[in-house]
Structure 1
Amino acid sequence: MGEMYDEFVEFIQNSDVKDKVDIKFIDVMEDSLDGYDAVKTMLEKGYGMPLTAVNGRLRFYGGISNEMFYEEIKKHL
């Protein structure tokens, strides 16, 4: 997952939204999920990783292209 995240960060850093977004990676195997109840629920239900949120709301699960995620970000700016 870390590699996908790194690629996404690079993609965003090379885009027009780079100064308008904060990106955070949570390792569900190592980081505490306290405060991430929706993530816990989705994992318990078997949703695939990565789980992706925009403005704190889960929007995607499983694989997603950087372009699709970028378009979703643009909708919320």
Structure 2
Amino acid sequence: MALAKLSSKSQIVLPAEICRRLKIKPGDMLEIAEGDNAIVIRKAEKSALEALDACGSKLWQGYDRELEEAREEWNP
């Protein structure tokens, strides 16, 4: 079991081994839940648009703006 110390600013540092195993990188969003005297931290799922935008293909770059424009045409 890995241990982490809470700082005076209520911050913790995740152990490097866990970050590598879960492929958590700086800037990733984490979900935090509480219950039964426990805290659960999970890597948040990326949205479909973020996944498309991160895709190496130039075809999907900027698709989120195009999709938003199409939505505005349908729902003025």
Both structures adopt the same fold (TM-score exceeding 0.5): no
TM-score (normalised: structure 2): 0.21
Higher RCO (Cα < 8 Å, 6 or more apart)? 1
CA radius of gyration, larger in:
2
Higher strand share: 2
TM-score (normalised: structure 1): 0.21
